[in-house]
């Protein structure tokens, strides 16, 4: 029996299933499809598709979001994040995220730390939020992503990362708007099957 949270999620997905095609009618381009087509071209031996769990149970991929304030150090790793429910995304063995930056902003950088989630990371979990203590990434190498309009950035979302706030210009704060989606690998289960790269938001 499907849990209430899953039913609610798939109901919302159905409401927005045509979002990117509807947006295309206004701006002349399906931006999400352009990114995914590029990913497909780079992975000819993979089946690339939006995650699904049967008829009318297709996940949503390609969320638009604005993160203007900071986030704590955290990671996005489906096998841990959604472990309490039976989701197909729990089967992924590798996970990445793409962010297409749509607006120019001052500040708003992302730092990706050379530290992936493991069970040991739970020792550093901040129970008051979804984040982790800075001690977890202390003395680790860090990659800095400074967003620019039209930049496409892909990184391993199992790595600990944090977003810094957008700085105000002339007393105003412009939205750090991105088009984003997770991508996860499900290995082939036999010699006649291709590995899958599934997408969800």
- C-alpha distances (whole Å) from 51 to each of 153, 158, 170 are 21, 19, 43
CB neighbours (10 Å) of residue 196?
19
- Give the predicted TM-score (pTM) of the model: 0.92
Per-residue pLDDT tens for 95-148? Answer: 999 999 999 999 999 999 999 999 999 999 998 899 999 999 999 999 999 989
Q: Tell me what pLDDT residue 169 has.
A: 84
- Whole-number average pLDDT of the chain: 94
pLDDT at 2 over 70: no
> CB within 8 A of 36, min separation 6: which ones?
48, 61, 199
Q: What is the DSSP string of 40-62?
A: HHH-TTSEEEE-BSSTT-BPP--
Predicted local confidence at residue 37, as pLDDT: 97
> Is residue 1 over pLDDT 60?
no
Confidence class of residue 50 from pLDDT cuts 50, 70 and 90? very high
- Give the span between the Cα atoms of 109 and 128, in whole angstroms: 24
* Span 17-25, average pLDDT: 96
Phi, psi of 82 (to 5 degrees): -115, 25
Neighbour-count burial of 144, counting CB atoms closer than 10 A to its CB (0-12 exposed, 13-18 middle, 19+ buried): exposed
For 61-200, give the CATH class. Answer: mainly beta
Quickly state the pLDDT bin for 168 (edges 50, 70, 90).
Answer: confident
Secondary structure class of 73 (helix, strand, coil): strand
> Which tokens is 130 given?
């979804």
Radius of gyration, CA atoms only, the chain: 18
């Amino acid at each position: 029996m499907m849990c209430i949270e899953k039913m609610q999620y798939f109901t919302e997905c159905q409401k927005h299933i045509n979002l990117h095609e509807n947006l295309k009618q206004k701006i002349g381009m399906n931006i999400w499809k352009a990114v995914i087509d590029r990913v497909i071209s780079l992975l000819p031996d993979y089946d690339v598709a939006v995650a699904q769990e049967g008829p009318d149970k297709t996940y949503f991929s390609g969320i638009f979001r604005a993160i203007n304030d900071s986030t704590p150090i955290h990671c996005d790793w489906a096998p841990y994040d959604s472990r309490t429910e039976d989701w197909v995304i729990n089967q992924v063995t590798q996970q990445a995220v793409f962010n297409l930056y749509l607006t120019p902003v001052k500040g708003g950088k992302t730092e990706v730390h050379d530290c992936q989630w493991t069970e040991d990371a739970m020792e550093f979990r901040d129970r008051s939020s979804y984040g982790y203590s800075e001690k977890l990434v202390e003395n680790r190498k860090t990659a800095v992503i400074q967003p620019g309009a039209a930049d496409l950035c892909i990184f391993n979302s199992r790595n600990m990362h944090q977003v810094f706030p957008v700085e105000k210009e002339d007393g105003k704060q412009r939205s750090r708007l991105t088009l984003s989606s997770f991508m996860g690998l499900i290995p082939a289960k036999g010699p006649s099957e291709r590995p899958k790269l599934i997408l969800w938001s």
